[in-house]
């Protein structure tokens, strides 16, 4: 029997873990590169006081509920880490992770840019591996222990990114939310802004003074006890920087006034044999990442075909308009319906008709989704 393909995953946070789990289920060989020494992504390094902004019911894998002893709705980072550790253990994920190996760059080798642009179908053949010929990704990895550089060759890989932001974004709001540049603020945040105990100050430059900070264009020092650099991340730049090819760097983020052009928020029509799962975020990112990881695993396993590149681009433009008009939690449920349709799964996930009409969908509604081939 032909051995299933090796798939590269960059990172072992919630997204990489979900991608690894669903690829293993379909008997692929996932290989996860994680710059850090353990799984968990940002949760392993947040201060102990950091709590989930999402309730635990929305922040859980569909087939792995929180243990019964956990009863509080809002959990702290230690509890999240314990949960992720037991998830990794339950599905045997750690042994697929190469810890302390940072991906420094990726390069698509074997096909020129002009040829790629002329393809009518993604990856030339429309399937995940481009018919198994020519194009392969070279993944350049730096090892933490001795700084040695390795070059790995893959025919398909998956990538995920994290971004968060400040409350006064300068860029397009919708591009911000689509890129995960969305913050859920703590309770009474704006009351504190109104009473003046938190001061929000957009400024390109500033100076520290003896008893506070002086921001650009101001003449008086703002007296402060604490300064928080809420500079956020430039998600689209970070996304571009991983590519060696200047062309991919340019096309990956699309244009400034649109969401990042990813079909089903995963596949860039111009970038072959690659998917980006966690670029788009919602109020519950674990839920969003998990369902995309399942969609991707199903696609890679020949579960469905992608439309032509032109149709994908058209779909992205329509999604961009829809997103800007209807942004909210229900739009994610609507989007999950599209993913379910692609996977040929039942969209109505709740057993009782009226419950389906009136009770919002959450992660556990998607348990047992995939139709195995
Ligand atoms: C303080 C805080 C609170 C949050 N609260 C919530 C919440 O309540 N609900 C919610 O839905 N979301 C929340 N989020 C969003 C959060 O980002 C996601 O829920 C989730 O943790 C993202 O997981 P991830 O795997 O996509 O990325 P991350 O958790 O960011 O993991 C990224 C991983 O990638 C690794 N890495 C990075 N670059 C490379 C490279 N080049 N090579 C190899 N490895 C690399 C890093 O070491 C890291 O382990 C919060 C975020 C923050 C910062």
- What are the residue ranges of helices labelled H in 42-92? 77-90
C-alpha 33 to ligand 1 mean position (Å): 15
Residue 258 — pLDDT band, cuts 50, 70, 90?
confident
Averaged over 363-372, what is the pLDDT?
A: 74
Q: Among 129, 135, 137, which Cα is nearest to 103's?
A: 137
Averaged over 86-91, what is the pLDDT?
A: 98
What pLDDT score does 2 carry? 64
C-alpha 264 to ligand 1 mean position (Å): 20
Q: What are the pocket residues of ligand 1 if the criterion is a CB atom closer than 6 Å to any ligand atom?
A: 10-16, 33-36, 41-43, 46, 50, 52-54, 59, 102-103, 160, 162, 164, 278, 284-286, 289
Averaged over 331-359, what is the pLDDT?
A: 81
- What are the residue ranges of helices labelled H in the chain? 14-25, 77-90, 113-118, 173-178, 189-195, 235-241, 246-251, 285-300, 309-326, 329-342, 353-358
Residue 179 — pLDDT band, cuts 50, 70, 90?
very low
Averaged over 5-13, what is the pLDDT?
A: 94
Averaged over 24-34, what is the pLDDT?
A: 95
**Position with higher pLDDT, 369 vs 337:** 337
Options 3.30.2130.30, 3.40.109.10, 3.50.50.60, 1.20.120.1200; CATH for 6-167+233-366 is 3.50.50.60
C-alpha 43 to ligand 1 mean position (Å): 7
Tell me how far the alpha carbon of residue 192 is from its chain's centroid: 31
Which atom number of ligand 1 is nearest to the Cα of residue 16? 25
Residue 330 — pLDDT band, cuts 50, 70, 90?
low
333 vs 74: CA distance, rounded Å: 22
Residue 173 — pLDDT band, cuts 50, 70, 90?
very low
Which range is least confidently modeled, 26-30, 225-229, 347-351, 369-373? 369-373
**Residue 25 main-chain phi, psi, to 5 deg:** -60, -30
Q: Is the pLDDT of residue 226 over 50?
A: yes
What pLDDT score does 225 carry? 87
Joined together, the tokens standing for residue 6 give 């090796």
Q: Among 82, 96, 84, 80, which Cα is nearest to 27's?
A: 96
Tell the residue nearest (CA) to atom 18 of ligand 1.
285
* Sheet bearing 29-34, strands edge to edge: 97-99, 29-34, 6-10, 157-159, 274-276
C-alpha 165 to ligand 1 mean position (Å): 13
Which of helix, strand or coil describes residue 152?
strand
**Portion of the chain with pLDDT greater than 70, in percent:** 86
Domain definitions of the chain by residue range: 6-167+233-366, 173-223
Averaged over 143-157, what is the pLDDT?
A: 76
234 vs 279: CA distance, rounded Å: 12
Joined together, the tokens standing for residue 370 give 């995939």
The model's pLDDT over 264-304, given as tens digits with 9 standing for 90+, comes to 999 999 999 999 998 776 778 898 899 999 999 999 999 99
357 vs 354: CA distance, rounded Å: 5
The model's pLDDT over 36-88, given as tens digits with 9 standing for 90+, comes to 999 999 999 988 888 898 899 999 999 999 999 999 888 999 999 999 999 99
C-alpha 263 to ligand 1 mean position (Å): 22
Q: Among 294, 368, 369, 284, which Cα is nearest to 59's?
A: 284
Cβ count near 168 (within 10 Å) = 10
The model's pLDDT over 117-132, given as tens digits with 9 standing for 90+, comes to 999 999 999 888 876 6
What pLDDT score does 82 carry? 97
């Amino acid at each position: 029997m032909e051995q299933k393909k090796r798939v590269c995953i960059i990172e072992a946070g919630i997204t990489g873990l979900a991608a690894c789990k669903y690829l293993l289920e379909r008997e692929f060989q996932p290989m996860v590169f994680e710059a850090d020494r353990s799984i968990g992504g940002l949760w392993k390094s947040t201060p102990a006081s950091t709590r989930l902004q999402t309730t635990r019911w929305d922040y859980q894998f569909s087939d792995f509920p929180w243990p019964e002893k956990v009863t509080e709705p809002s959990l702290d980072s230690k509890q999240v880490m314990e949960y992720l550790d037991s998830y990794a253990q339950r599905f045997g994920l750690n042994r697929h992770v190469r810890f302390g190996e940072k991906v420094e760059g990726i390069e698509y080798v074997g096909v020129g840019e002009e040829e790629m642009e002329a393809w009518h179908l993604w990856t030339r053949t429309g399937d995940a591996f481009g018919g198994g010929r020519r194009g392969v990704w070279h993944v350049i990895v730096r090892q933490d222990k001795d700084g040695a550089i390795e070059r790995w060759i893959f025919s398909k890989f998956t990538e995920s990114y994290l971004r968060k932001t400040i409350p006064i974004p300068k860029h397009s709001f919708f591009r911000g939310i689509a890129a995960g540049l969305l913050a859920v603020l703590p309770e009474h945040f704006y009351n504190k802004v109104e009473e003046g105990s938190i001061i929000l100050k957009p400024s390109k430059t500033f100076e520290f003074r003896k008893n506070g900070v002086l921001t650009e264009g101001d003449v008086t020092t703002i007296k402060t006890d604490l300064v928080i650099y809420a500079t956020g991340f430039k998600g689209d730049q970070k996304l571009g920087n991983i590519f060696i090819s200047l062309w991919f760097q340019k096309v990956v983020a699309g244009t400034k006034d649109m969401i990042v052009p990813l079909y089903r928020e995963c596949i860039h029509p111009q970038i072959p044999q690659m998917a980006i799962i966690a670029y788009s975020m919602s109020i519950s990112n674990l839920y969003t990442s998990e369902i995309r990881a399942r969609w991707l695993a199903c696609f890679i396993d020949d579960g469905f075909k992608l439309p032509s590149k032109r149709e994908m681009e058209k779909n992205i433009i329509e999604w961009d308009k829809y997103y800007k008009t209807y942004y909210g939690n229900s739009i994610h449920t609507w989007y999950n319906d599209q993913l379910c349709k692609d996977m040929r799964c039942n969209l109505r996930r709740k057993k009782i008709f009226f419950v389906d009409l009136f009770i919002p969908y959450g992660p556990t509604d998607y348990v047992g989704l995939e139709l195995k081939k």
